[in-house]
Amino acid sequence: MTPTVGVLALQGAFAAHVRILDWLGVATVEVRTAAQLERVDALILPGGESTTMSMLLERGELIEPLRSKLSGGLPVLGTCAGLILLSSKILDGRSDQHALGVIDLEVRRNGYGTQLDSFETDIDVAGFDDPFHAVFIRAPVVERAGEQVEILAKVDDNPVLCRQGQVMVAAFHPELSGDDRIHRRFVDSAGY
């Protein structure tokens, strides 16, 4: 059975994720409330601005429901700001910004600095036959990955696509390259 996949739609680049999931024929729910969150079998946290998303999650009383779904093993894909939110430690974040701590990563917000703040490059992804064109927009840099974290792709020496159990994260925007392979892998791994 294919899962119903929620896309957190409080802020940021959620619409392009919904389009790819539609294209894959997957049932989707835009998640803005705890009741909508309750209905999903898997969730995508999109790119955008992690500080704002964190604040909107708090304002919408979604932090605790989200923590509880995640600790129940909800499969989740976090891209860019979504990666930041799911990580265990955020460097250069706001002091009141939530780190949900479901993947053992230490990440630096906007870690590529102003010169390189947005760039595109082809990356080799474990398990893919051909490179994936990755779009980085004010992306976080993963500065430390715990032993439990599987690194699926790197740029230079930095992990950019990682997985730990049911949690998958990308430092780039996989929804922006017209390539559905990362979404397909996520949906397949969330299927049951």
State the Cα–Cα distance between residues 183 and 83, nearest whole angstrom.
15
Residue 90's DSSP bridge partners are 107
Catalytically annotated residue among 17, 98, 162, 175: 175
Which positions from 90 through 129 interact with ligand GLN, judged by CB under 6 A?
A: 109-110
Q: Work out the number of other CB atoms within 10 angstroms of the CB of residue 67.
A: 14
Identify which of residues 127 and 178 has a Cβ nearer to ligand GLN in the complex: 178
Which span sits near ligand GLN by CB under 6 A: 61-69, 78-86, 99-107, 161-169?
78-86
Catalytically annotated residue among 17, 80, 162, 183: 80
137 touching ligand GLN, by CB under 6 A: yes
80 touching ligand GLN, by CB under 6 A: yes
Q: What is the DSSP string of 139-151?
A: --EEEEE-TTPEE
Phi, psi of 79, rounded to the nearest 5 degrees: -115, 130
175 in active site: yes
Beta-strand relationship, 28-31 and 150-155 = unpaired
CB 20 within 8 A of CB 180: yes
Identify which of residues 136 and 186 has a Cβ nearer to ligand GLN in the complex: 136
Q: Binding string to ligand GLN for residues 37 to 76, with x set by CB under 6 A, is what? A: ----------xxxx--------------------------
78 touching ligand GLN, by CB under 6 A: no
Which positions from 4 through 43 interact with ligand GLN, judged by CB under 6 A?
A: none
81 touching ligand GLN, by CB under 6 A: yes
165 burial via Cβ count (<10 Å: 0-12, 13-18, 19+): middle
162 in active site: no
Contacts of 80 (CB under 8 A, 6+ apart): 13, 46, 47, 48, 137, 138, 139, 140, 170, 171, 172, 173
Give the residues lining the site for ligand GLN (CB under 6 A): 47-50, 80-81, 84, 109-110, 137-138
Question: Residues with catalytic annotation?
Answer: 80, 173, 175
